[in-house]
Every structure is written in C-alpha cells, then in structure tokens.
Amino acid sequence: MNSNKKIPVFDIALGEKEKEYIKDCVDTSFIGQGPYVKKLEEKFSAFVDCKYGITTTSGTTALHLACAALDIQKDDQVLVSSSTNMACPFAIDYCGAIPVPIDIEKDTWQMDIAKIEDKINDKTKAIMVVHLFGHPVDMDPVVEIAKKHNLKIIEDCAEAHGVEYKGKKVGSIGDIGAFSFFANKTITCGEGGMVVTNSPQIAERAKSLKNLAYGKINKFMHEDIGFNYRLPNISAALGLGQFENINNVFKEKERIYNRYKKNLENIKGVNIPAIRKWATKYIMWVFNLYLDDNFPITRDELTKKLKEKNIDTRDAFVPINQQKILIDKYKIFDENDCPNANYIMENGFYLPSGNTITNEEIDYVCEEIKKISLQKS
C-alpha cells in the first residue's frame, strides 16, 4: 500500500440518510428543536431496552445530567473507574460532589469490582461504572453492592453502544445510562449525547433539568437550577441517519477487531485485553492493547516509530488518580492509588479503528509493529 498515506486513528463514515435528513432540516427550517430529536430519543432508547431517552449536547453533559437527575449533591462521593475520560470526574464535580477513583483490572481495563467496597463510606452516593472501549463491566456484583449500601448506579456507555452484559444492554442495568454521540463514537451527531433510564421519575427530572427547568404552569417561573443541554434538531438528524445504519457499523467493528487480533495476538510483548464471558455482545470502540517488558521498546518509542510511518495512534487515558488538579482539590487520593490504571497509562494505546479503514491498511499497521517487535532492545 501507499506508505505516504496517513492512517488516522479515527474517521467518520457518512451516508445518504444523513444527508437526506439534514437537508430536510434545512428545507423545513427546523434546525433548532424539531422532530428528529424525538425520533432519535425514541429509537435509540428502545434499542438499548430503556423506556426513556433524553438527548443532550454531549457525552459530558449527559453524564452531568445523569448525576443531577439522581440528585448527586455537594460533598457526596461517587466511585468511578480511574481509567476513563475526564468527563466522568468533571461531571461529578459539576454537582459539587467528589469523584473517588477505583483501580482497574490490568487485563480488561475495566473497573476492579473487588476494590469497590473498601472505598464506600457514609458520604458515598453512587457508583459510576465505565464500559470502557466496548467491554461491559461485571454488573451483577455492582448491583449487589449498590443494593447493600443503598447506592445509585450510573452507567457511562460513551464507548459501548449496543454492548450487552449477559444478554442485557448496557445503559439499562443501572439507574441511568449516559451515551456519547461525539464525532469519534460508534454513531455520531457531530457532538451530542443521551441519558437513558427505565424510571419515569428520573426521566422526568432529567427532561426538566436539561431544558432550564421551566415551570409547568408559568414557563418562566423555574422549578430548579436547570441547564441548556438541548440537542439541535439538525444534530439529531445526523444521529438518526447514523443510527439507522448501526448494524452495518457493528459488522465493520467486528471485521476490524478480528483482523487486528489475528495479526497481533502472537507477537511477543503485545497484549490484547481479555474479553470476559459475561460480555455476551462485545462491540469494539477502538482496538486497544498494551505492551509488557517482552517488547523490545517502550510504548512511547513504538508510537513514535509508527507515526514516522504515517500511522496514527492514541495513548491510554491519564487516570483520575494522576490528575494534579483533582488530587490538589480533594486531597483524598494520590498518584499511587491505582497501580493498574497507572500501568495502562504508561503502556497502553490504541490503533487506527475508523470504520473506513481497509484490511490492507490494518495489515500494514500490524506488519510495522511486527517488524519492530523483532528488533533487539
């Protein structure tokens, strides 16, 4: 293949439905609020087996809305996987609450359930699980712990559209789920998100809060401190077009995952995260992996060499317990609290995984990694 062509870590595949629906918004002047918002809410929430779906402006605002709808308040504590996008702790902080990082399993990158109860105290209000990179967290013990300690469960499903845990769609298992429709997610609105729930009370509060908490009798006599998290109709139109093609997206994700796995699984020092038996429907968001000491060079050295070959990569998240702004603010955890998350931060990364990547491009990426793996350190 042409080695001068850059292989991006993400790309966006847009089809005719997206164009048709966006054109309809423009032709009818419904670019702000309009019918595509309701259609996306109804279709996507039903797809994840939830009765209610409330769109928002981003995955971050979906997480904030989820916390607010559960009445997370000042000085409450919310347990959350340390290895995640900082939208999670920030959303908790927006409510005046405190994120408490929980370490991960090194071989799956998912929250280590065995570490949860040690962090629970009388200030703990909720558990925020993160179904990272398309693999579900082990939810049965999380639900048991939550019931035992009277805690709420928030599911961050930003990277887990359509993923199933023991046959149940993620987002439908806890009290409320939050999805992202950012440009690099499984389906996109350009920018957008959604909270889903099976609780009419939680749904009603979320709907009110996302729309400035307008009054029911006098619209401008507000019932609470609300937010303007309304998703524009034109963004929902893009998202609906994407959603109607989601099964084809899943097929492409499966193709990409299987191609990478076949090429990389026997390279010494390269580790592909495990897929647990409870992940009855694993849908890769991006192809993530980590190196160990058997690989001849470090992660940073490898990704630099790949960049020289026009292969884009992204490093694993810097975990919550490493974020100085959070350490200094809360003073309840430090850099050493989550050793597995720290290990993945230093050794983990992900490879080009956009839906339009070709098998030839995947093979090229893997061949370059294979060549480097055979070098002497």
Task: Provide the pLDDT for residue 275.
Answer: 97
Question: Among candidates 81, 79, 97, which has minimal Cα distance to 151?
Answer: 79
Instruction: Please identify, among 227, 243, 259, the residue that sits at the C-terminal boundary of a domain.
Output: 243
Q: Are residues 41 and 139 in the same domain?
A: yes
Residue ending a domain, among 210, 243, 276, is 243
pLDDT given at position 1? 65
68 and 27 in a common domain = yes
Q: How many domains does the chain have?
A: 2
Is there a single domain that holds both residue 138 and residue 276? no
Residues sharing a CB contact under 8 Å with residue 97, sequence separation 6 or more, in sequence order: 67, 72, 73, 74, 75, 76, 77, 78, 125
Q: Are residues 227 and 265 in the same domain?
A: no
Asked if residue 8 belongs to a domain, the reply is no
| pLDDT computed for residue 10 by the predictor | 93
Is there a domain that residue 2 lies in? Answer: no
* Antiparallel, parallel or unpaired: β 348-351 and 314-315: antiparallel
CATH code (residue 275): 3.90.1150.10
pLDDT at 31: 87
Last residue of a domain, one of 243, 263, 278: 243
Strand order from edge to edge, sheet including 270-271: 270-271, 287-291, 348-351, 314-315
Token reading at 154: 């928030």
Any domain includes 353: yes
Is residue 344 within 8 Å of 290, Cβ to Cβ?
Answer: yes
* Angle between the N-to-C axes of helices 299-308 and 359-373, in degrees from 0 to 180, rounded to the nearest 10: 130
pLDDT of residue 356: 93
Q: Do residues 182 and 157 share a domain?
A: yes
First-to-last CA distance in the chain? 28
**Cα distance between residue 47 and residue 241, in whole Å:** 15
Residues 97 and 169 in one domain: yes
Please check whether residue 7 lies inside any domain of the structure.
Answer: no
The pTM (predicted TM-score) of the whole model is: 0.96
What tokens were used for 222? 């507000």
3-state secondary structure of 332: coil
CATH number, position 21: 3.40.640.10
Residue spans of the chain under pLDDT 70: 1-3, 377
Same domain, 218 and 336: no
- pLDDT at site 46: 98
* DSSP structure string for 42-76: HHHHHHTT-SEEEEESSHHHHHHHHHHHTT--TT-
What domain range is 130 assigned to? Answer: 16-102+109-243
Cα separation, 209 vs 67, in Å, equals 11
- With helix as H, strand as E and coil as C, how does 155-192 read? EECCCCCCCEECCEECCCCCCEEEEECECCCCCCCECC
Q: For residue 32, how many other CB atoms are within 10 A of its CB?
A: 12
Q: What local confidence, expressed as pLDDT, does residue 273 receive?
A: 97
Instruction: Answer yes or no: is 91 within a domain.
Output: yes
Amino acid 340: pLDDT: 98
